[in-house]
Amino acid sequence: MTPTLDVFVAGAREFLRSVSAAPRNDSVASSPTKSRYALFSGSTEEEIVAATRYQRAAYDAGFGWITGPVEDGGAGLPPKYEKAFAATEREFTIPSKGPLSVSLGMVAPTLAQFGTDEAKSRWLRGLRRADFVGCQLFSEPAAGSDLAAVRTKAVPDAEGDGWVLTGQKVWTSGAHYSDIGIALTRTSDGPRHRNLTAFVVDMHAPGVEVRPLRQMTGAADFNEVFLTEVRVPDSCRLGEVGQGWSVAIAMLMHERGAIGGSASGGSGLFRMGDLAEWINAQGRQDDPAVIDAYARVYSGVTAAKAMRARGDANLKVNGVPGPEMSLGKLALTANLQTLSDLVSVVLGPKLVADTDEPQAFAWSEFVLSVPGMRIGGGTDEIHRNTVAERSLGLPKDKLPRA
Ligand SMILES: Cc1cc2nc3c(=O)[nH]c(=O)nc-3n(C[C@H](O)[C@H](O)[C@H](O)COP(=O)(O)OP(=O)(O)OC[C@H]3O[C@@H](n4cnc5c(N)ncnc54)[C@H](O)[C@@H]3O)c2cc1C
């Protein structure tokens, strides 16, 4: 029987109380533990373990896949329950789910949409329970914005009913702690968008090699992934042969939806009250430049919330995220940039000098990670093209691209 929303929230609160150290008190001003704000900071082993433990406990308590079909291991509840749970989570100090964002926000929904029964029963529940972690094997050295240019080949396996994959992927977030990856491959020559096929690749299979890439924050959150004659059973194919482009588009839409959600506060970075408290603690509240920068963040976040509400309403009607999700991603990068400006104005030289002051380093790591956000999940230029063409109906970009 479906619980009432009140009963559900009361249960959620009880669960969150049992797994969190204390009700939320991690304000930017006061928390000694909030030492990292970087977006692609390279999750530490500890952060990965904490995220995994939390997700597993949430799943076992019925909060790990609230809207998922019961037969696949979900709780079978409407989206408003998921929203209510997310709002309740924000009342508590819980581990960041960042290390699992690709796995839960992109890999699991794409597998649920396109996976064979065999692949779903093998991986889906485990992904939702964080027994497995998934990554996205799309970008290649010569295929990023123009994703349809992927060269990784998948050919039928002469020795079995499956496929043999060979090629190189790049910028694969979290590949170093992933168990599976969704790979976009070329299965035949011919028109770019009609000869692609997607697969679930076992990241522990022979022939998969993961090499870390270091970014300017100093961390290494993404990787090069080399696939050398990796054998993949046909049951791990997603969608029809040659229809990989539809799978890719669906996964990118999930990605945009997941990223866009943080434009208005989902990531916890845009808690305006906490930011005000932090500015006061720095004694910078009367500086007109600080007030101006704060107002810019405030208006951007408020606009993003309204846009997000519109995207959610469309999602409710259409069932899948639409091109307007690009606006969410653009809003996020714009808001992160204004936050980066605010932090820089408040901290001034402390941002770059190692003064041992609490959080100054955390914020410099954040400022260095913001430019990557304009690229990951589709660049700003590509999202503007998407909005122009698919939402506004403007003429198509003449350059070949995804
Ligand atoms: C933090 C981060 C995490 C990532 N994680 C993953 C991941 O997990 N899995 C994965 O597969 N990939 C991942 N990526 C890769 C990401 O998807 C690509 O970097 C992105 O799609 C851009 O591709 P590119 O780097 O090849 O740049 P290019 O496509 O070569 O673009 C270079 C520049 O040209 C511009 N440009 C290109 N085409 C056009 C056009 N038609 N019109 C206007 N301007 C254009 C771009 O906007 C950009 O400024 C990640 C990237 C980052 C930064």
Per-residue pLDDT of 6-26, as tens digits, reads: 999 999 999 999 998 655 544
Last residue of a domain, one of 220, 243, 266: 243
- Structural domain of residue 179, as residue ranges? 134-243
Tokens 């070949």 label which residue? 400
Q: Token pair for residue 47? A: 């952060």
Last residue of a domain, one of 243, 269, 291: 243
Residues 385, 324 share a domain: yes
Asked, for residue 5, whether it belongs to a domain, the answer is no
Nearest CA to ligand 1 atom 18: 144
Instruction: Give strand pairing partners of 24.
Output: none
Mean pLDDT of 298-327: 80
User: Per mean pLDDT, which range of 22-31, 99-108, 188-197, 322-331 is the poorest?
Assistant: 22-31
User: Higher confidence at residue 270 or residue 122?
Assistant: 122
The reported pTM is 0.89
Q: Please give the pLDDT value at position 267.
A: 61
Residues 280, 199 share a domain: no
CATH, residue 358: 1.20.140.10
Residues 383, 277 share a domain: yes
Please, are residues 178 and 203 in contact by the beta-carbon 8 Å criterion?
yes
Residues 294, 379 share a domain: yes
Mean pLDDT of 379-385: 93
Q: Please give the pLDDT value at position 44.
A: 80
* For the CA of 39, the nearest atom of ligand 1: 1
Asked, for residue 21, whether it belongs to a domain, the answer is no
Q: Is the pLDDT of residue 316 over 80?
A: no
pLDDT in tens, 76-89: 999 899 999 999 99
Residues 220, 286 share a domain: no
Mean pLDDT of 353-368: 75
CATH, residue 216: 2.40.110.10
- Cα(391) to centroid(ligand 1), Å: 21
Q: Is the pLDDT of residue 402 over 90?
A: no
Q: Indicate the number of domains in the chain.
A: 2
Please give all residues whose beta carbon lies within 6 A of any atom in ligand 1, as ranges.
40, 102, 135-136, 138-139, 144-146, 171-173, 222, 372, 375-376, 378-379, 381-382, 385, 397, 399, 401
Asked, for residue 353, whether it belongs to a domain, the answer is yes
- Cα(103) to centroid(ligand 1), Å: 20
Q: How far from 370 is each of 334, 336, 357, 375, CA to CA, in Å?
A: 10, 6, 22, 10
Q: Please give the pLDDT value at position 213.
A: 94
Last residue of a domain, one of 211, 243, 275: 243
Q: Is the pLDDT of residue 234 over 60?
A: yes
Asked, for residue 42, whether it belongs to a domain, the answer is no
Residues 379, 287 share a domain: yes
347-353 long-range contacts (CB < 8 A, ≥24 apart) are 347/282
Asked, for residue 103, whether it belongs to a domain, the answer is no
